[in-house]
Amino acid sequence: ETGVTQTPRHLVMGMTNKKSLKCEQHLGHNAMYWYKQSAKKPLELMFVYSLEERVENNSVPSRFSPECPNSSHLFLHLHTLQPEDSALYLCASSQTGTANYGYTFGSGTRLTVV
Amino acid sequence: QKEVEQNSGPLSVPEGAIASLNCTYSDRGSQSFFWYRQYSGKSPELIMFIYSNGDKEDGRFTAQLNKASQYVSLLIRDSQPSDSATYLCAVKQYFGNEKLTFGTGTRLTIIP
């Protein structure tokens, strides 16, 4: 495996379900991110983990719960979601301390809440 | 005021012509600027970055930066149908703050 891998690619869940999104990066980066992408909106930063410590949480509802057990893995635990949470959820990684370093994105999870 | 602004398009350009994509940003402390390409249903892919005023060329792509005007652009020469995608401008604001702020993207269509 290379780059950033996300599973599952597609997820349909009911409003009462609990599910988790998984992200793994194979690039040796030290920071990982969760983004939400909805139609006609900019990418919304949800969570930032740097060196396995959560450094940013952009007022995300508590029904989204991130977990970063090590620098290569990132999870997003989902429970009691709302239909408006349907979106593409993107994981990204980067190497901090280098201003000219962009993010590498995973292929995303297309989430539909019914 | 939006932090990073792009014209959402769609921008239609004939095949073989130059496509010009523009982006403005509000934070004068911004240090680095990135262009991502996103095909429909896919994730963003980094195609260019620039941090110094002036032009940076990579193949058919040229990024232009004017920090005084807070303006960054992407030129695509000899446009191909495979260039049809949404182009996202992203800005990194401070050393030590690694957050990228994205614009809404410009949808580009190359007409054969």
Over residues B16-41, mean pLDDT:
93
**Is the pLDDT reported for residue B107 higher than 80?**
yes
* B2 confidence band (pLDDT: 50, 70, 90): low
Q: If you search the block for the tokens 């892919």, which residue do you land on?
A: B45
Percent of chain B with pLDDT over 70: 94
Q: If you search the block for the tokens 């980066």, which residue do you land on?
A: A29
Task: Please state the length of chain B.
Answer: 112
Give strand pairing partners of B109.
B12
Task: Name, of A47-61, B23-37, B87-101, the range with top average pLDDT.
Answer: B23-37
Best residue in B94, B100, B101, B106 to probe A by mutation, most A CBs within 10 Å? B100
Cβ-based contacts of B33 with chain A (< 8 Å) = none
- Taking CB atoms and an 8 Å limit, are B44 and A105 in contact across chains? yes
Q: How far apart are CA B21 and CA B19, in angstroms?
A: 7
pLDDT at B36: 97
Element at B99 (helix H, strand E): strand B97-102
C-alpha of B5 from chain center = 10
**Is the pLDDT reported for residue A29 higher than 80?**
yes
Which residue stretches of chain A are H helix?
none
**Is the pLDDT reported for residue A12 higher than 80?**
yes
* A13 class by beta-carbon count within 10 Å (0-12 exposed, 13-18 middle, 19+ buried): middle
**Is the pLDDT reported for residue B112 higher than 70?**
yes
pLDDT at B97: 59
Which of B42, B51, B99 has its CB closest to that of A45?
Answer: B99
Please say whether the dihedral angle defined by the alpha carbons of residues A92, A95, A99 and A101, taken in this order, is positive or negative: negative
A-to-B residue pairs, Cβ atoms closer than 8 angstroms = 50
Q: Does B7 touch chain A (CB under 8 A)?
A: no
pLDDT at A99: 65
Residues B38-89 pLDDT 10s: 998 889 999 999 988 999 999 999 999 999 999 999 999 999 999 999 999 9
